[in-house]
């Protein structure tokens, strides 16, 4: 179906999301920190990125800006996830949040699957 990159420092979250996404037919790669995530985004060529907002050493907002400056990921849809921040706070820190969504942790799997499907469908409509 789609290549999905999960960037989160919580190994348990990465494991659960990877299992769900793989079960749903997606090809999944993951990274546990922003630097590794940026590197994998450049090589894996994801169609969707799931990004934790709070990680040691950097924020999801900074990584988002780096991803948007990269030609390979400048239009890749990004799903932010956080248990600590409000969607309005996250989106206000971004230069251009178009194509981005937010889910609060802990996430309900039905909501997660629905949002993933919606984001991938929206991305396919883009030129």
Structure tokens at 54: 């709070």
Q: How far is CA 76 from CA 32, 85, 109, 119, in A?
A: 19, 22, 22, 10
pLDDT at 59: 74
pLDDT at 119: 95
Q: Which fold has domain 3-125?
A: Rossmann fold (3.40.50)
Contacts of 58 (CB under 8 A, 6+ apart): 33, 34, 35
pLDDT at 102: 87
- Domain ranges for the chain: 3-125
The separation between CA 11 and the C-alpha centre of its own chain, rounded to angstroms, equals 15
Say if pTM beats, i.e. exceeds, 0.85.
Answer: yes
pLDDT at 28: 99
Burial tier of 39 (Cβ tally within 10 Å: 0-12, 13-18, 19+): exposed
Structure tokens at 104: 């609060």
Distance CA 22, CA 90 (A): 28
Below-50 pLDDT ranges, the chain = none
Q: Which of 105, 108, 113 minimizes the C-alpha distance to 51?
A: 105
What 3-state DSSP class applies to 72?
Answer: coil
pLDDT at 94: 60
pLDDT at 57: 76
């Amino acid at each position: 179906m789609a290549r999905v990159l999960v960037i989160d420092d919580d190994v348990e979250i990465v494991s659960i999301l990877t299992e769900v996404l793989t079960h749903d037919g997606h090809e999944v790669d993951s990274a546990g920190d922003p630097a590794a995530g940026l590197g994998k985004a450049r090589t894996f060529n994801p169609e969707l990125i799931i990004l934790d907002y709070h990680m040691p050493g950097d924020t999801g907002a900074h990584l988002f800006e780096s991803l948007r400056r990269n030609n390979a990921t400048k239009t890749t849809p990004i799903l932010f996830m956080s248990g600590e921040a409000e969607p309005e706070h996250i989106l206000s820190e971004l230069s251009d949040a178009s194509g981005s969504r937010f889910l609060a942790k802990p996430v309900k799997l039905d909501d997660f699957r629905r949002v993933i499907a919606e984001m991938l469908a929206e991305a396919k409509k883009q030129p």
